[in-house]
Chain A
Amino acid sequence: MSLKIHHLLGLEGVSADDIRLILDTAVSFKEILARKIPKVPTLRGTTVANLFYEPSTRTRFSFELAEKRLSADTINFTTSGSSVAKGESLKDTVWNIEAMKIDIVVIRHSASGAPHYLATCCKSTVINAGDGAHEHPTQGLLDMYTMREKYGKLQGLKVVIVGDIKHSRVARSNIWGLLTMGAKVAVCGPPTLLPVEMEKFGVEVHDDLDEALRGADIVNILRLQKERQKTGLLPSLREYSRYYGITRDRLDLLNDNFTIMHPGPMNRGVEISSEVAEGPYSVILPQVTNGVAVRMAVLYLLSGGKGKVDEE
């Protein structure tokens, strides 16, 4: 069994078979995380460079932990205190790091398409850890893993993604992945934060939250990216919270056995109330745990195939 893809740049165009293989493999990796010694020697000798051109805590820790649990060697790179501050280009940075013998590059970048560009100009395997407003494929995978863990399937689930769809790479990766796996997806947010012609993705589009929530199984609540709201797309956070914040009384519109998800970090009291975030239906912390298992599966599956078959 192996993946058809050689890099994980996004979930757009990734086949259902590949997604299924990653999710199935992650089930076995989750078991490893529960062991007394949660570490396996699988990627001994593999070196992974984590290139984070944008701030990140959860994703960076999650990738680093996944790499360490698989016994890979890791080097970390953040823009402050590196040669980027001296004006080095992305390509030169990677070529230089590659010259030190790197096998896998994990990259987060504010420019959409940066990982795709890297994949064309370097020999390493590239994993996208979030590029601009484009995709965040491992987040999409871990969200799907978490849904599948609870419902046993993805086919036929109705998922509503609420918030700033326009700037959200999490939304795009979820949409591509979920549609491939046969789930129904709706997006909901203020019209200023919904891209035009969103319907062409194959999703339902709502600007009325109650209408979007009716009959849904899962609500994936996006973080309102305050740093992106300077341009006057929203009148005020209070107004956003009133119309699009998920509060306890709104949950009655959902199907029985519903689930609340959030990719983090949360703005409590803005897009999600504390009561909802901590409710029994919330899988926000399991999402984080599953993230490590899913990233281990991605690293494992992408790191094979460098030589001849040696069948024992």
Chain B
Amino acid sequence: MAKNMTVKVMSDKSISLALNRIAHEIIEKNKGVDDVVIVGIRTGGAVLADRLKKILDGICDADVSVGIIDITLYRDDIQVKLDQPLVQKTEILFDLVDKVVVLVDDVLYTGRTVRAALDAIVDFGRPRAIQLAILVDRGHRELPIRADYAGKEIPTSKSERVEVHLKEISGKDEVIIDRSGRGGV
């Protein structure tokens, strides 16, 4: 892959600033974190959810519950895909009823992943509200879904590929756009 085909759009510093800002916005909007729980979408969202929890705990001197959701079984393309995606565990070990669930994912694109996650969450109970926190919003929605908290909005074309690298998974923090024409998230 030629080097000029990829552009770095967020550095480790800007990712960290964005998460801190999102944390403050969550506190502001919900007047504290008493009823707030965080649920990250596997895999990138789960890592970001953990980081948000630590920031919120630090600011509010609280212990915010954090869970992981795997949306594989709620996808709408199971029967059109050649490969069955590997189903991983969902870990929500607390009660969601009457809580404010902050759903966390790395990239918001078509909105289909979020749609699947919303379906999955309501199977665990009836939260008072569900809010969406996203690191990168790249546009091209196919469903009426928007983020309540967004780290960065990046206009992209569908042929571009947005890659979010996180320390816990790939050893470094950065967001890059790949213009080599493969498309996808």
| Chain A residues, CB < 8 A from B124 | 35-37
User: How many B residues face the partner with a CB closer than 8 A?
Assistant: 31
Contact A39 B123 (CB under 8 A): yes
Q: Mark A21-49, 1 if CB is under 8 A from B, else 0.
A: 10011011101100111011111011000
Contact of B84 among A36, A46, A305 (CB under 8 A): A305
Contact of B125 among A36, A43, A308 (CB under 8 A): A36
B96 to chain A, nearest CB (A): 9
In angstroms, Cα B74 to Cα A43, docked, is 9
A305 to chain B, nearest CB (A): 5
Interface hit among B22-30, B32-40, B86-94? B86-94
| Chain A residues, CB < 8 A from B77 | 310, 312
A81 CB–B CB distance under 8 Å: no
| Chain B residues, CB < 8 A from A306 | 79-80
In angstroms, Cα B113 to Cα A179, docked, is 40
Q: From B70, B82, B83, B120, name the one whose CB has the most chain A CB atoms within 10 angstroms.
A: B82
Contact A41 B185 (CB under 8 A): no
- Contact A27-B89, Cβ < 8 Å, known A36-B123, A42-B74, A312-B113: yes
In angstroms, Cα B153 to Cα A268, docked, is 67
A266 CB–B CB distance under 8 Å: no
| Chain B residues, CB < 8 A from A45 | 79
Give the bracket for the number of chain A residues in contact with chain B: 35 or more
Q: Mark A2-14, 1 if CB is under 8 A from B, else 0.
A: 1100000000000
Contact surface of A with B, Cβ cutoff 8 Å: 1-3, 21, 24-25, 27-29, 31-32, 35-37, 39-43, 45-46, 70, 297, 300-301, 303-312
In angstroms, Cα B88 to Cα A1, docked, is 12
In angstroms, Cα B161 to Cα A312, docked, is 11
- Contact A309-B73, Cβ < 8 Å, known A25-B87, A36-B125: no
Contact B73 A305 (CB under 8 A): no
The B interface, classified by DSSP as helix, strand, loop or mixed, is: loop
B167 CB–A CB distance under 8 Å: no
A132 to chain B, nearest CB (A): 30
Contact surface of B with A, Cβ cutoff 8 Å: 70, 73-75, 77-91, 109-110, 112-113, 119-120, 123-125, 183-185
| Chain B residues, CB < 8 A from A307 | 79-82
| Chain B residues, CB < 8 A from A31 | 89-91
Contact B79 A41 (CB under 8 A): no
Contact A312 B125 (CB under 8 A): no
For B70, give the chain A residue with the smallest CB separation.
A28
Q: From A21, A29, A311, name the one whose CB has the most chain B CB atoms within 10 angstroms.
A: A311
A-B contact pairs, 18 of them (CB 8 A): A1-B83, A1-B85, A2-B84, A3-B84, A21-B86, A29-B87, A36-B125, A40-B73, A41-B73, A43-B78, A303-B79, A304-B83, A306-B79, A306-B80, A310-B80, A312-B77, A312-B109, A312-B112
